[in-house]
Amino acid sequence: MDLINDIKKQLIAAVKDELIKVVRKELVNEITLMRKKVDELERNLKVELNSFKEGAFALSTQSTNKLELEKSIIVRAECTKSRQDSVPGVVKVELTSTDTKVKALRNKYRLRDKTKFQNVFLHGAKTHEEGLIELNTKELLRNMPERHQWQTCKEVSEARKWNGQTVTAEQQDKDEWNTSGI
């Protein structure tokens, strides 16, 4: 009886050892496959991140320094793909607030005459809602029956032309066209 129990224990131990070897081998194979997949994903990600021309971010850093921006106000910078081989892609920079964006726009306005910064473009400081309101206003003016008599201007006084006469915001209360029911 002891002999049979010893044989059973030896068989169970041998089966366990064999089973552990098989499981270990399968586990090593799975880990190897996973490592290969992760390495491939990392390579693809690095290629995607580094697919832009070198110097594009250095160029953008020089541009932001000339715009008198602190590095702490830049939330994110992203370089897009280049459309031409000789020119780096567009660098999109997200700033922390609208005030810093306005400051950057003002400083860009000062740099516009320098040839080095002619290709530095900044979107306006208007919010999406303000842009939509402006587009809707322009569309309304375009579709008015007497649209050729109206003209929008970018002056601070918001001058408007009515029948060829320029009317400023101060004159609106005095003029007839303000009370004409429009």
Question: Residues 90, 63: one domain?
Answer: yes
**pTM of the shown model:** 0.29
Residue among 55, 101, 50, 54 nearest 75 (CA): 101
pLDDT at 53: 47
Domain containing residue 40: 1-51
Which of 62-76, 85-99, 127-141, 146-160 holds the top average pLDDT? 127-141
Give 38-73 pLDDT, tens digit per residue.
888 877 765 555 444 445 445 555 555 555 666 556
Domain count, the chain: 3
179 part of a folded domain = no
pLDDT over 80 (residue 4): yes
Instruction: Give how far the C-alpha of residue 69 lies from the chain's centroid of Cα atoms, to the nearest Å.
Output: 18
Give percent helix, percent strand, percent coil of the chain, each to the nearest 5: 55, 10, 35
Exposure of 59 by Cβ count < 10 A (0-12 exposed, 13-18 middle, 19+ buried)?
Answer: middle
Question: Residues 31, 65: one domain?
Answer: no
Q: How far is CA 111 from CA 11, 67, 87, 99, in A?
A: 85, 8, 20, 19
> Which of 89, 117, 145 lies at the terminal end of a domain, its last residue?
117
Question: Residues 37, 19: one domain?
Answer: yes
Q: Is 166 within 8 Å of 160 (Cβ atoms)?
A: yes
Question: Residues 103, 72: one domain?
Answer: yes
pLDDT over 50 (residue 125): yes
Question: Residues 70, 45: one domain?
Answer: no
